[in-house]
Amino acid sequence: MQHTLPKFGFRLLAQDGAARRGEIVTPRGTIRTPAFMPVGTTATVKALYTDQVKAAGADIILGNTYHLMLRPGAERVARLGGLHSFMRWDGPILTDSGGFQVMSLATIRKVTEAGVEFASHIDGSRHMLSPERSIEVQCLLGADIQMQFDECIELPAERNEVERAMQLSLRWADRSKAAFEKARDEGLAGAGQALFAIVQGGTDYGLRRASAEALVAMDFPGYAVGGLAVGEGHDLMLRTLEATLPFLPEGKPRYLMGVGTPLDLIEAVSRGVDMFDCVMPTRNGRHGLAFTWNGRVNLRNARHAEDLSPLDPESSCPAARDYSRAYLHHLVKSGEYLGAMLISWANTCFYQELMQAMRDAIAEGRFKEWAEATKARLNETPSAGSL
């Protein structure tokens, strides 16, 4: 007998210019797109209760394969019933493949055709990630949406090095797909609903197109753009996106990985991106930087020391609405947990409010005007990254 749960699916509900309003249906719930996924690195969205993440409006969160396979370990998470019940998040979870963090965090790495051997940044223990092992880990975690294993190289790099890594990632995409479908066809507990491919190719438009076309030929249910927001700058990121998106199918979700600032999100949505993830709201929250509808507020700044106004009196988020900037300033300066808790919460709410505003603007056919007005109001500089 078949389960009656809805299968994975994506449908476009509205389009406004290149911006898209849609929804991804999964057995664990519907994801309204454009969507921002809070990052639950090590089975926790840092300094937040999952109830707060859900109430903020997040339909899906992201988990990190690299972190979770090292601690507490993927087999352990599986024995404990999977990542959802472990961390008390009953909505959909997307896991990355570990490809990015094995390059940015692991201390020793050796890349071969088979995969990547590396040493843990926690205790130096040796591990292997390959397309097959990455999918195995993601199934052990029980991720609803899984990502192909890819090689992420540091930029800038020579064109032939970028091409080599992109071609390797294509072969790994094929192997990831085979492993994913095998797990699903065998009815493995924790098998995912959908595997997304990752377009690579650095900032070389020709390589991006080649990567996209090859992946589309393999027919994935969703496509990510990887290897961006790694220091190439806002403008080059957007141009590379413009050179890539036309080669991805209209009817599949498009996910820009690891992005970004509020300005990045608006610009990427205006170009047709549907999904994002980024540590920015929570990492900046831990360092005293708040995102608001009137721009960034650095709560470390002494000018907030006696400011009784809240971050945003009209916010639906208690952290942004009910606490004075003076109090937040004090908490940040004192290194108190509650400072990180409140500002991470406020930022997580702001990011979800931003996505909701974009979804509404697209549905109502006024995205361009909304984007112009909002960019002026946020007053973000294109180069602004983290603190």
d(CA 296, CA 287): 13
Question: How wide is the angle at C-alpha 224 spanned by C-alphas 197 and 251, nearest 5°?
Answer: 85
Q: Compute how many other C-beta atoms are within 10 angstroms of the C-beta atom of residue 21.
A: 22
Task: Quote the distance between the C-alpha of residue 9 and its chain's center.
Answer: 19
Q: Does 118 bind a copy of itself (CB under 8 A)?
A: no
Partner residues linked to 198 by β-bridges: 224
Residue 286: CB minimum distance to a copy of itself, A? 8
- Applying CB under 8 A, the span of 21-29, 73-81, 263-271, 357-365 interacting with a copy of itself comes to 73-81
Of 212 and 341, nearer to a copy of itself (C-beta) is 341
- Applying CB under 8 A, the span of 78-86, 147-155, 231-239, 358-366 interacting with a copy of itself comes to 78-86
Task: Quote the distance between the C-alpha of residue 100 and its chain's center.
Answer: 12
Q: Does 47 bind a copy of itself (CB under 8 A)?
A: yes
Q: Does 124 bind a copy of itself (CB under 8 A)?
A: no
Residue from 6, 178, 295, 337 binding a copy of itself (CB under 8 A): 337
Active site residues: 96, 277
d(CA 35, CA 171): 29
Q: Are strands 275-278 and 9-16 parallel, antiparallel or unpaired?
A: unpaired
Residue from 37, 58, 74, 87 binding a copy of itself (CB under 8 A): 87
Q: Are strands 9-16 and 19-26 parallel, antiparallel or unpaired?
A: antiparallel
d(CA 60, CA 82): 16
Of 68 and 265, nearer to a copy of itself (C-beta) is 68
Residue 126: CB minimum distance to a copy of itself, A? 20
Residue from 9, 17, 29, 72 binding a copy of itself (CB under 8 A): 72
Q: Is 217 exposed, middle or buried (0-12, 13-18, 19+ CB in 10 A)?
A: exposed
Structure tokens at 293: 């509808």
Residue span 279-318 as binding mask against a copy of itself, x where in contact by CB under 8 A, dash where not: -------x------------------xx-x----------
Residues that bind a copy of itself (CB under 8 A): 42-44, 46-49, 71-72, 76, 79-81, 86-88, 286, 305-306, 308, 322-324, 326-327, 329-331, 333-334, 336-338, 340-341
